[in-house]
Amino acid sequence: MTDTSPEIAEMVRARLMALSGAERFRMGVQMFDAARRMVLASLPAGLPETERKRRLFERLYGMPLPTHS
């Protein structure tokens, strides 16, 4: 579902594609970092580091953290 008109969507796409690959990559990294910070901020305070990492992984990737055998 989208509430963006096709004309606006194309304008945004054209502007993004006008950026260099490095600029688009940097933008993606910044968005991922922002999402990571939001998830971490939503977790209960005082969790052990391993539990924070496990919950972060599950929230970002939508699956349990694989265990090593």
Structural tokens at position 4: 């963006």
Q: Which residues 6+ apart lie within 8 Å of 12 measured at CB?
A: 4
Q: pLDDT value at position 67?
A: 83
Q: Tokens 């600029």: give the residue.
A: 23
Q: pLDDT value at position 33?
A: 97
Domains of the chain by residue range: 6-61
pTM of the model: 0.75
List of the chain residues with pLDDT < 50: none
